[in-house]
Amino acid sequence: MTNLLKEIPNSYIIPFSYRAEHYPPLDRGLSDKSFAYFKDTSIEEIRELWKRTLSSPLGLSHPILLYVHWPFCSSYCSFCRFGMESSSHHKEQELVLNSLREEMGRFKDTFKGISFPSLYIGGGTPTFMTDAMLENFLSAIRESFKLAPGAQIHVDASPATLTESKLKILIRHGANRMTLGIQTFDAQVLGRIDRKGQDEQKVRTLFALFRKFPDLFIDTDMMIGLEGQRDSTFVKDFSRILTLSPHSIHLYPFADDERTLWKKRGKKVVLNQKDRNSHLLNLADYMARKAGYVTGYEDWETLKQNSWETRHEALWRDFRASILGIGYGALSHIFGAAWYYHPKPPPEGVSNNAVPPIKMLEFDVEEEMRGYVIESIVRNNKISREAFRRLFHQDISECASVFHALEEFQKRGLIKIDSRALYWRGQDIVERAVALQSLYSPKMAEALIQSTLRLNHTHAFEGASSEQRIRARQGHIDCRIYYRRSLFEDACCPEYLLGRS
């Protein structure tokens, strides 16, 4: 086997901050530096690539999702690794809104006749807009794109900025799922993490409003390991959220990331933080089960088919969906053609009606196969041959360059191959991260070598010290997701959501 790891110097191997489980490799915060190996391109070229995929039977067999990004928040929380913008200047926000309208208009004809099964409005905090701006924003989306009957319209929200009037505007425009970023109820912890304008009473008032709209699916985001958060504080936080009975709870461990304000202030996570987080996650599992919740990890296959989680994240990862991303900071995927990204708003501000610049990486069908194999191993520890055939209209063995690398893994005892699936047998996540890089195409490896990524990071997985390995595992605790047990009794998602109509 041509082992790229032996050919590429250690300083070029994707470092810890980059998501080895994602192909193409990107960092967890999707910072602009992630896209250093992407090339500048024009919206005209992007539209041509979309037209090619939309006229391809294979391209059309995959779902096409819509994502619109609002880059502003009311405050910049110290734990946030996404580099959001904090702006109270309505003029600046109006310029970004005009840019969104302009870009949507440029794609309107390209997607004429396409019905999107999912619209995700993220950020940032979309509910940071004024009522008038929110109405304008949602109207522009409706004027530009067609949503499928029963489409999920998912909106990120904050207790600090969501009001009854904004909720009614969202409902009127079809919003049927909302993620409320709570993180913690503790006033002292909220102060330590610079999360302004939020308190427990606002959250409880919002949940009282949500009950007036029984068809509205409510997610909540909570965090574990925040600065100043004691074990007893977390237990109180989690108990309070369980009493509110949201449809799902996303519990995120705090990430020790160089882009956070917390890290920039010179603070460090102690090495036993993972053990503490693991203990609290086990406690959260127990509390959630007693309250009638189950975790996605307990029955993920059932959950993917029965839950609204399928509508966006699982469609993207499990069904290699295309994603049309609109706005500064949005990431897009054109199946079998490209990934592309709009950088975040420049420091000098946005020009009126200016479409954001575009950074693009060409990504053909073989690259899609590589990405599916890598992400399946990381997320499921196996690659289903039936799922591969459904997605790519061929057996995995017919993609010789990929299958040859997997056969080499089998010789090393890392993979077991049978007629139904390929099962990952390795135990060490650092070993896995290094091994999976041998699945990168020569073109991808060369792009990474030529990029400036190597100038910004120095340590690599291979040859990592004991401390680096501990930190790698420490940062590897995934988000835990809890769902109401009753969700498993819901009807399955419509066939069009699975890209089979």
For residue 324, what pLDDT is reported? Answer: 97
In the predicted model, is pLDDT for residue 386 greater than 50?
yes
Average pLDDT, stretch 451-474?
A: 43
Average pLDDT, stretch 390-414?
A: 94
Tell me the two tokens of residue 398: 């017919």
DSSP per-residue letters across 157-205:
E-TTT--HHHHHHHHHTT--EEEEEEE---HHHHHHTT--S--HHHHHH
In the predicted model, is pLDDT for residue 54 greater than 80?
yes
For residue 388, what pLDDT is reported? Answer: 94
For residue 316, what pLDDT is reported? Answer: 58
Q: Which CATH architecture has domain 1-24+364-460?
A: Orthogonal Bundle (1.10)
For residue 192, what pLDDT is reported? Answer: 85
Average pLDDT, stretch 473-497?
A: 53
CB of 9 within 8 A of CB of 63? no
Q: Which of 28-42, 89-103, 329-343, 374-388 ranks highest by mean pLDDT?
A: 329-343
> pTM of the entire structure?
0.86
For residue 169, what pLDDT is reported? Answer: 98
Residue 78: φ, ψ to 5°: -70, -20
- pLDDT tens sequence across 339-373: 999 988 887 778 877 899 999 999 999 999 999 99
In the predicted model, is pLDDT for residue 7 greater than 60?
no
- pLDDT tens sequence across 105-117: 999 999 999 999 9
For residue 452, what pLDDT is reported? Answer: 53
For residue 307, what pLDDT is reported? Answer: 46
Q: Indicate the average pLDDT of the chain.
A: 81
CB of 329 within 8 A of CB of 336? no
Confidence of residue 132 (pLDDT cuts 50, 70, 90): very high
Residue 440: φ, ψ to 5°: -65, 140
In the predicted model, is pLDDT for residue 302 greater than 80?
no
More confident residue, 375 or 302: 375
For residue 210, what pLDDT is reported? Answer: 96
DSSP per-residue letters across 331-347:
EEEETTTEEEEPPPPPT
Looking at the domain that runs over 39-317+482-491, which CATH code has it been given? Answer: 3.80.30.20
In the predicted model, is pLDDT for residue 299 greater than 60?
no
Average pLDDT, stretch 403-427?
A: 93
Average pLDDT, stretch 397-425?
A: 94
Distance of CA 475 to the CA centre of its chain: 16
For residue 80, what pLDDT is reported? Answer: 76
For residue 107, what pLDDT is reported? Answer: 97
In the predicted model, is pLDDT for residue 444 greater than 70?
yes
Average pLDDT, stretch 141-157?
A: 95
For residue 312, what pLDDT is reported? Answer: 53
Q: Where are the domains of the chain?
A: 1-24+364-460, 39-317+482-491
Average pLDDT, stretch 134-157?
A: 95
Alpha-carbon distance of 252 to 51, in angstroms, equals 38
- Quote the crossing angle between the two packed helices 365-380 and 385-392, to the nearest 10°: 150
More confident residue, 466 or 279: 279
In the predicted model, is pLDDT for residue 267 greater than 80?
no
Q: Which residues pair with 218 in a beta bridge?
A: 178
Confidence of residue 102 (pLDDT cuts 50, 70, 90): very high
Buried/exposed 87-107: b ≥16 CB within 10 Å, e otherwise? beeeeebbbbbbbbbbbbebb
Window from 27-31, 452-456, 489-493 with minimum mean pLDDT: 489-493
Q: Which of 84-93, 330-339, 478-487, 492-501 ranks highest by mean pLDDT?
A: 330-339
Confidence of residue 124 (pLDDT cuts 50, 70, 90): confident
Confidence of residue 216 (pLDDT cuts 50, 70, 90): very high
Confidence of residue 83 (pLDDT cuts 50, 70, 90): low
Q: Which residues pair with 72 in a beta bridge?
A: 85
Confidence of residue 6 (pLDDT cuts 50, 70, 90): very low
For residue 35, what pLDDT is reported? Answer: 85
Average pLDDT, stretch 417-432?
A: 88
- pLDDT tens sequence across 327-344: 998 999 999 999 999 988
